[in-house]
Structure 1
Amino acid sequence: MMERFYNPVFVKELKLRFRSFKSFSGLMFYLAVLCIFIAGFLLLTTEFTGRGFFRPETSFMMFAVLTILQMALVLFITPSLTAGAISSEREKQTLNILLTTTQSSTQIVIGKLLSSVAFLVLMLVAGLPLYSLVFLFGGVSPSQLISIFLFYLVTVVAIGSIGVMFSTITKRTIVAMIATYGSIIFLGGITAFFFFLTMAFHQMGNAIGTGASFMTYFWASINPGALMLTLISPEMGDALAELSGVELPVWITYLIAYVFIIVLCLTIAIKKLRANMKSNR
């Protein structure tokens, strides 16, 4: 039974990744950034005396800013881990050897993706002790923390799938990395621009007001930053529902959209991996 789920590519990539000094130096850098931020926040809040008040409202503010910072770091690191999954094998001229093994295209693509996601999950878990500081001062519920980490997981898998897809259909790692970062800019920046644009049309009472209000909800529902803000502050989700007239929670649409992105990107990667061969396995 377990042999069905055994993926040699995943096991090999996982061993190579966790034996690399680069991986642990990256993890150390990631935790160092979080520690510096938290220490600086605490010092500023207590006015560098260590005797100032730290209210639940301040704790919530630290949680919100820490969540945004961690999401930015994850989005910055993910393409570097996934955009070279297949293209690096092609550049090292080892892809043809990999394709002649008994591993199917699905096993190769999924194994490459899961090894990268596993390292990113390790980074998120390693940051949990730092997150736990907010529970010392109150202002944050455990359900918020759980929802934030589930949001991280879905987003990381989606961005990772995009990186693996571009790594498969392009020949150079740098091109795949640029394309993946471009996708992140679209999902995080361009959708935010369209959100504010359609919101402005809606408030101006344009003739396309009904369509604009729906598009306002649509652009917000696929933007990672917008969903993160609604998870941190549910009042923002209520304000968006009142503005757009759509009662469906943003996280449901976000989950559907990103699951679709994951399935689409992995399907393309699997199909294109052996595009030049006579038969796909």
Structure 2
Amino acid sequence: MYIFENPVLQRELLVNLRTKRAFVLLALYQLLLAAVVIAAWPSDERLDLTSSPPSATKLVNLFFLGQYVIASLMAPSFAAGTIAGEKERKTYEMLLASPMRPGAIVLGKMVASLTHLGMLIIGSLPIIVLCLPLGGVHVYEVLAAYLGLIISVILFGAIGVMCSSYFPRTSSALVVSYLVILPLVIGACVFWATLGTEGYLRLKLATVVVPAFGLTAVILMGAAAAGRMLYPPDVGSEGKEVIDLEKEAEEAVGLVIQPDQFPDRLFAPPKKNEMMADGANPVYDKELHSEIFSQGTLMLRLVIQISILLAIPMMGYFLFFQQHQAPWFCVYVIVFNMLVGPSFLAGSITSERERQTLDLLLTTPLSPLQILWGKFVVRFRISIVLTGFLLWPLILGASLNTAFWSNLITVALMFLIVATVCLVNCVVALTCSMFARKTSIALLTTYALLLLLYVVPPALSIVARMLDMPPSTVANVDWTGIASPFSALFWLPLNEDLVPNNQQINDGFMIGVIGYFAFSIIFVIVATAAMLLRLRGRKGLSDG
């Protein structure tokens, strides 16, 4: 009933593994890893196989770190919609009414969601086998690394399933899952890179510590998800009832959002007691008072508490003890907005399609610009206010630490880069929502595009330096960073007060920062024009 005769598991496997997307994803995954190995293949004419060649060790470490990051970021996307998707498809109550035990349902959902990802990981074994003859790593280290990778993926999948059981929307479950998983991924990568020369210690951690703690956490989270399905508090009107915010505030544990007080009123509107004013935008009014908060404030409360909890130690480390690494704090703020900001806008148009109300919206006398403006402003306001909470430590650090007083222009540019990121992220999410048919697809497409714009350019620069490519090639790769705010942050000049060794600054650094702002403005204009043309043409929008 739990594995071999589990109808949920059998159905999910048949649906997921027989699609064209499964084969395409497997091919792309293998091609990506193969490209990394080919690019990082040692260029030495001779390798001393009696020792551990540094180039071979670097290749294997790059392979495992790349695969770990990719697999870890993919795990929540497979698991976060397992239970929340049933609620969105209005089949949640039918699943609960089946004779299956809650534990069997949760286990079937989790195994089915991670099976495809497990196939991708196992399929990469032939690629790493090609690297073993180069030396630099023992076969037992490879096996231990794969064991740790599989356990980590199972753990991250369990986090996604548990979040999926608590939220009525896949987007909310996905965002909270990423917020929990991202610090774990970063910590694991740092430890693996730090212990690069301690092969025996890494072997013990991957074979003993990670499985023990990981499997324990998986069992506890699976039991919590099964218990929530046994006594579901969100069943009623097919699991999508409107939540009373006042009652939720009385029962909330920890942070409580009070719309009638500052600063909560900046992103959580107070209860509406008056009629809509003449000439007001009805889309804006509707989105402001009903759409976002109709399913409760649990996601927002978790997002705020987790982000602030992570921001406090980062503030102390990057803004007071390691001031020359201050841009890394803004990197954390940008990553936070990358995860949270798109979740509010990725469903702005697709939710109308899913509720079958898009035809009604298109037949109103509202212009396409009014529709887009009403959808965008409300959700962008929430995104930028939540991100602004994390910028207060930067203001505090720049005020109290005298080393920042001579770098106020750089600090101001950091704020401007973060604000630009908030705008671009929301525009990308709204554009994907305009062209996608489902909210989950729009959100995942948004994340993929943001990773392509923000992460790939600096990653290429790092890899080019690791592989000791010619300076001209490295310079050309660096210029792709005009699309990435991460590259722009580290292009900002810092004087001797923050960098005691007098960091060398080229004229191209500031040109790169200006290039980032110019690229972002052009990108926003082009995306907005594409959305307006899509709404005015209405082709493919009214088919439900």
TM-score normalized with structure 2 length: 0.41
1:229 corresponds to which residue? 490
User: 1:111-141 CA deviation, whole Å, 9 max, x = no partner?
Assistant: 2122221111211333344434323344334
Question: How far apart in 1 are the matches of 2:506 and 2:469?
Answer: 14
Q: What CA distance in whole angstroms lies between the structure 2 residues aligned with 1:165 and 1:56? A: 36
* CA separation of 1:37 and 1:8: change in aligned 2, threshold 3 A: same
Partner amino acid for 1:139?
A: A
Q: For residue 10 of structure 1, report the CA deviation from its aligned partner.
A: 2.7
Structure 1 residues 234 and 58 mapped into 2: Cα distance closer, same or farther (>3 Å)?
same
Say yes or no: does 1:15 pair with 2:289: yes
How many Å apart are 1:250 and its aligned residue? 1.5
Other-structure match for 1:76 = 339
2:431 corresponds to which residue? 165
Distance of aligned partners of 1:137 and 1:241 in 2 relative to their CA distance in 1, 3 Å threshold: closer
Tell me by how many angstroms 1:105 deviates: 0.9
Q: Does 1:91 align with 2:354?
A: yes
Shift, 1:73, TM fit: 0.7
Q: Against the structure 1 CA distance between its residues 21 and 222, is the aligned structure 2 distance closer, same or farther, given a 3 Å change threshold?
A: same
CA distance in 2, matches of 1:231, 1:11: 40
Structure 2: stretches of 5+ with no match in the other structure: 1-276
Match status 1:127 vs 2:127: no
Structure 1 pair 56–158 and aligned structure 2 pair: CA distance change class (3 A): closer
**Following the alignment from structure 2 to structure 1, what is the Cα–Cα distance between the partners of residues 493 and 284?**
34
Q: Is the 8 A contact 1:59 1:138 kept in 2?
A: no
Q: 2:537 aligns with which of 266, 275, 281?
A: 275
Q: Which of 250, 261, 268 is 2:523 aligned to?
A: 261
Contact 1:57/1:139 (8 A) holds in 2: no
The one-character-per-residue Cα deviations of 1:50-96 (angstroms, maximum 9, x if unpaired) are xxxxx975162685443222111111112211111111111111111
Shift of 1:226: 0.8
1:66-215 correspondence to structure 2 within 5 Å: 66-134=329-397, 135-141=399-405, 142-196=408-462, 203-204=469-470, 209=472, 212=473, 215=476
- Rounded to whole Å, the distance in 2 between the matches of 1:77 and 1:20 is 18
Distance 1:36 1:89 in 2: 35
Which one-letter code corresponds to 2:287 in the other structure?
Answer: E
Shift of 1:277: 5.8
Q: Does the Cα contact within 8 Å between 1:84 and 1:176 map onto a contact in 2? A: yes
Q: Deviations over 1:181-220 (max 9, x none)?
A: 1101101222223334666899526xxx4xx466334212
SS in 2 for 1:85: coil
Q: Percent identity?
A: 18
Q: For 1:229, give the aligned amino acid.
A: F
Task: Name the count of aligned residue pairs.
Answer: 255
CA contact (8 A) 1:161 1:265 kept: yes
CA contact (8 A) 1:195 1:215 kept: no
Q: 1:264 to 1:72 in 2, by over 3 A?
A: same
- Evaluate the alpha carbon distance shift between residue 239 and residue 25 of structure 1 in structure 2; reply closer, same or farther with a 3 A threshold: farther
- The match for 1:29 is 302
Contact 1:222–1:254, Cα closer than 8 Å, also in 2: yes
Q: Give me the TM-score of the superposition, normalised by structure 1.
A: 0.75
For the pair shown, which has the larger CA radius of gyration, 1 or 2?
A: 2
Secondary structure of residue in 1 paired with 2:347: coil
Distance change >3 Å, CA 39–CA 87, structure 1 → 2 = closer
Contact between 2:431 and 2:531, CA under 8 Å: does it hold in 1? Answer: yes
Describe the shift of the 1:128–1:193 C-alpha distance in structure 2 as closer, same or farther (beyond 3 A). closer
Counterpart of 2:492 in structure 1: which amino acid? L
Per-residue deviation at 1:273?
2.3
Higher normalized helix content (fraction of residues)? 1
**1:182/1:26 Cα in 2 relative to 1: closer, same or farther (>3 Å)?**
same
How many angstroms apart in 2 are the aligned matches of 1:154 and 1:89? 28
SS at match of 1:133: helix
Q: Which residue identity is paired with 2:482?
A: S
Q: How far 1:251 sits from its partner (Å)?
A: 1.8
CA distance in 1, matches of 2:474, 2:313: 41
- Say whether the 8 Å CA contact 2:436–2:442 is kept in structure 1: yes
Distance (Å, rounded) in 2 between the aligned partners of 1:130 and 1:28: 19
Pairwise CA distance, 1:143? 3.7
Q: d(CA) in 2 for partners of 1:90 and 1:83?
A: 12
Unpaired runs of at least 5, structure 1: 46-54
More divergent stretch after superposition (118-127 vs 250-259): 118-127
How far the C-alpha of 1:149 sits from its partner, in A, is 2.1
Partner of 2:62: none
